[in-house]
Structure 1
Amino acid sequence: MEFRKTALTCALATLFALGGTAAAQDWGGQQGGGAQDASPPEHQGAMPGADVDLSDDTIDEFVDAFVEVQKVNDEFAQRLENAADAEQAQALHQEAQQEMVEAVEATGMNVEEYNEVAMALQNDPELLDQVVQMAEERQ
């Protein structure tokens, strides 16, 4: 498994989608909007990456979470390719998303924090390079 910026970008995009799903599960009932607006109330309209903790500890947790999410992504990629129909593919996708949430949470982060760090990394190419290097070392 080789981590490159393009792979990181794809994985980040995957988790953003996952974050929306997780947010819909977490906040959908509170907002009454469900999947229509999956962002948590306190971050609606917030600038992506604003006021995000990018301390060494946070980055370290993020890299651990990213590596675990990538493992889940890799595990399910082949299974999704071999899905018999759209219904099976959707079920596998939902299972993968749940495992990604669990992988992130097992590192001590929640999906919202993970996504905030990921968005902040897109605005900091030097830190993104550092994260990619750290992820490669932990694979």
Structure 2
Amino acid sequence: MSTDPAPDRPTRRRQTMTPGARYGMRFGWGMGLYAVTLVLALILRNHGVEGWLPMLLTLPSVGIITWALVAYYRESDEFAQRKLGESFVFAFAIGVPILLVLGLLEAFGGPHLSGMIAFVVMMAAWMIGSIVSAIRYR
């Protein structure tokens, strides 16, 4: 006599998502919301709505994207946490001095650059840090 309650039925494994898959899903929802609210913000601005209101529409998506990244860090194992942490440190170590130099150049007569430059510099530095971390731990 078998102790298996239902020997003729295949066993089912509970399908769970990896931290990376959950991050991708959460990040995707945040970016989707950002895209929609950005379009709405641009429409509002083009229809004469000035000030903070158009910008405030995009803030909930920033919260979701931040939550996705923090949750990914917390749900990942120590190795993934280390790689993510090192990529952040690398981005900070590259990005901040570049932005400091750009700010000083602007203060002493250099060209005024858009605030989006800071975002581009930090994201590029984070990408470089992620690549360096991935190569280091191959």
TM, length-normalised to structure 2 = 0.40
Work out which of the two has the higher radius of gyration on C-alpha atoms and give 1 or 2.
2
TM, length-normalised to structure 1 = 0.40
